[in-house]
Structure 1
Amino acid sequence: MAVVLRPLGLGDLLTGVPAIRAVRAAVPGHRLVLATTTALAPLAGLVDAVDEVLPARELAPLDWDGPPPELAVDLHGKGPASHVVVADLHPARLLTFASPGYPGPTWYADEHEVRRWCRLVSEGLGVAADPDALDLAVPAVSPPVTGAVLVHPGAAFPGRRWPAERFAAVARSLADAGHDVRITGGPAERDLACAVARGAGLGEDAVLAGTTSTLELAATVATARVVVSGDTGVAHLATAYRRPSVVLFGPVSPALWGPPPRPQHLVLWHGDGAGDPWGTELDPALARITVDEVTAALDRLLA
């Protein structure tokens, strides 16, 4: 049995997929248990390397009643708090980044999130880890719409949330050009999505936020014509399904969290990487991205 710890957000789960696949390659004869949040369990089931999902909460002890696993891997952070979570399972082998009391590969703050975890597994377990192995299986559910242009205005923190009125202007431009525009988001983002729809002159039927399950959202992204969003989980879903995307970065450099260098993924950024990703005010770098820049990028992908 191998246990992999990754109980974070949607983008965190998806950027960890190549490393999870590398762990599977390192221990092909063992069941792989992914410890992640209950909310992400349905998506975790779409990762072909995962045999079982263990509900987990960030930095909380795992509810593990099995024997000590042969291997436990911390894909949560640089430690030591997250290291303790997996060490408490008393695995035969423990893989973490180096921190006091825990030997392992060195953590580099300026490393891309995908490559960081691939390197941990590659150096720690002696297997190749492909950072481009980001693909996710398409869920076996019917999406509420196919072939739509998806506008996703939400983000976990205000610092990474481009202004709603600018998203509305982009959505209006897309709708005026004849595209089927839908506004996506989670239940907590429905008011924001409705405001964007109103500003774009769209009806409430264009708002998918708060009406789709996690798997329905994934299925919708998997068939999208294009996705436009900030630096948030839906951008990583577009990457996982190789759908065209325009991603707006602000406080965090795309060199750390951006999509792979594929022609269908366009990144807009005017920052220096010194912003606060958990900021409570719009990041100045994100504020410098204009509506015209976003519509021009979308025009390139929709041409």
Structure 2
Amino acid sequence: MSAEPGTAAATVSDRWAVDPATIGPGDVLVLRALGLGDALTAVAPLRGVRRMLPGHRIVLAAPAGVGAWLAGLGVVDGVLPVPGLVPLPPTPGGHVAVNLHGRGPLSHELLLASRPERLVGFAAPAAGHDGPPWRPDEHEVHRWCRLVAGAGGPCGPEDLRLRDHRPAPGDAPVLIHPGAASAARRWPAERWREVAADLAADGHRIVVTGSPAEADLAATVVAGIDAAENRCGTLDLDGLARTVGAAAVVLSADTGVAHVATAQAVRSVVLFGPTPPAWWGPAVDPDLHTVLWHGDPAAQAWGDPHADRLDERLAAVTPAEVLAAARAQLGASRT
């Protein structure tokens, strides 16, 4: 995810932070120590956890800003702030632990060290844990819903939504989020600018978002376009979510903002490269989301999403394709 929470999100984190010394029977400790996009794919299984153990307090071990944002939305009840896959603070034990982070053994071992009464997780013989098998070619949302549903918490892709779809007002802007965490998933800025210029010529306002580190990237996209507004580096998570929610359509690569659009049922066009959309694409409301990908689903040979060079599948996506998909979604948004 490109946009990181700012000061406002840190203040909210203090509000939702849970003292580990209070985690015990009656609590569920869920590990998902990942970024925004990963956190949003976990909304559906987290709702399954709520159904599995109604009345329990759900504490999410996750980065502070993302965790606090989900707590503010009521998806979880509190946050145990952790920056990644690191040892958890000591707890009294007796709680239920749920591993939504990975298949182990390290993530399992970190949760087991918190002395839970029960661990819900995929099978990890190296950690001494028996559970359902991990399927490497499974969609991320379906994978975690399968785990939680099998443990007694029914859930599915429809639980990803944070709100119902709302028709966009006539003056709603097009949101372009050109950044991504790695070069492999970063479509060239000049191509985004071409799309932005053509949509502005159609009469649409353009809003560009990103992190402070992506200021030069955003400046390239909006250069010379009077109808384009650069909000790069100005938004915390709440502000980003509101901006996405107010857009007519969101254009981005396979990154956190795409998952925000899916969660808010906002129309989107998502450009995929090294990772197949069958694993990470929108899992609900297919009419609202257009996926552009030039990979071969039968090839079983994917690229490295963390590589430092543009993936060839993403490079094959043309501005004409993105423009056509955006115009189609914009046309549908007005009806």
- Answer whether TM exceeds 0.5 for this pair: yes
1:3–1:69 Cα contact (<8 Å) kept:
no
Structure 1: runs of 5 or more not aligned? 139-145
- Alignment size in residue pairs: 292
Give 1:258's match in structure 2, choosing from 281, 288, 291: 281
Q: Does residue 276 in structure 1 map to residue 299 in structure 2?
A: no
- Describe how 1:146-295 pairs up with structure 2 within 5 A: 147-198=172-223, 201-202=224-225, 206-260=229-283, 261-272=285-296, 274-295=302-323
CA contact (8 A) 1:46 1:137 kept: no
Report the identity percentage: 50
Distance, in Å, in 2 between the alignment partners of 1:193 and 1:301 is 23
- Give the whole-Å Cα distance in 2 for the aligned partners of 1:48 and 1:281: 39
1:42 matched residue in structure 2: 68
Specify whether residues 217 and 130 from structure 1 end up closer, same or farther in structure 2 by C-alpha distance, changes over 3 A only: same
CA distance in 1, matches of 2:242, 2:204: 19
Q: Match of 2:255, as an amino acid?
A: T
TM-score normalised per structure 1: 0.92
CA RMSD of aligned residues (A): 1.7
CA contact (8 A) 2:252 2:269 kept: yes
SS at match of 2:160: coil
Q: Which amino acid aligns with 1:103?
A: D
Q: Distance in 2 between matches of 1:204 and 1:147?
A: 13
Question: Is 1:296 aligned to 2:315, yes or no?
Answer: no
- Matched AA of 2:121: T
Normalised by the length of structure 2, the TM-score is 0.84
For 2:6, the equivalent position in structure 1 comes to none
Which is worse superposed, 100-109 or 46-55?
46-55
TM-superposed deviation, 1:46: 4.0
CA contact (8 A) 2:175 2:208 kept: yes
Deviation at 1:43, TM superposition (A): 2.1
| One-letter code aligned to 1:115 | H
* Aligned match of 1:142: none
Supply the AA of the counterpart residue of 2:314.
L
SS at match of 2:157: coil
Q: Distance between the aligned counterparts of 1:184 and 1:49, measured in 2?
A: 25
Q: 1:178 to 1:215 in 2, by over 3 A?
A: same
* Superimposed CA distance per residue, residues 91-123 of structure 1 (whole angstroms, 9 cap, x where no aligned partner): 000111111211111000000000000011111
